Amino acid sequence: MVKANSIPRVWRERTIKYRLIGGKCKKCGKSFYPFRRICPRCGSEEVEEVHLPREGKLLYYTVIRAPPSDFEEYAPYVVGIVELKDGTRVLAQITDVVEDQLEEGVNVEAVFRKYREQGKEGIIEYGIKFRPKT
């Protein structure tokens, strides 16, 4: 019932999501994900678009055991905050892991994966997940 189903909203964010595009503030020097035209920290409007590094380390994670209704079929799954090599932080699913054998601080790399389906007739949403780097 409660879903943010919409084809246009998936379509319009596709480049940022698929290519991991962030912003780097020319004023305060901070970078962030996803890209936006105005720096969320200092308010500067001088932000350049950057392709973020695809490797980093897992800072914190949790295992989602009681998911929102549109993720029910995938639970349990891991969601964590990854700090990329340039210091940018990204919230994403951590994949290819056994939930209770995961450790904070592990090195991870970006992979392109399916996130969710918008019902039987809707589109399938893809994005970047991270997996431990071997």
Site residues for another protein per CB under 8 A: 1-4, 9, 13, 17, 32-34, 40-41, 59-72, 74, 77, 79-81, 89-93, 99, 104, 115-116, 125, 127
Which residue number, 26 or 41, has a Cβ lying nearer to another protein? 41
Smallest gap from residue 7 Cβ to another protein (A): 13
Which residue number, 57 or 89, has a Cβ lying nearer to another protein? 89
Reduced to 3 states, what is the DSSP secondary structure of residue 56? strand
DSSP one-letter string for 11-60: HHTHHHHHHTEEEEETTT--EESS--SS-TTT--S-EEEEE--SEEEEEE
Which residue number, 50 or 81, has a Cβ lying nearer to another protein? 81
Tell me if 70 sits within 8 A of 3, measured CB to CB: yes
Which residue number, 72 or 121, has a Cβ lying nearer to another protein? 72
d(CA 30, CA 32): 7
From 70, 74, 88, 85, select the one nearest 30 (Cα to Cα): 88
Smallest gap from residue 3 Cβ to another protein (A): 7
| Residues ≥6 apart with Cβ < 8 Å to 87 | 31
Smallest gap from residue 31 Cβ to another protein (A): 11
Smallest gap from residue 93 Cβ to another protein (A): 6
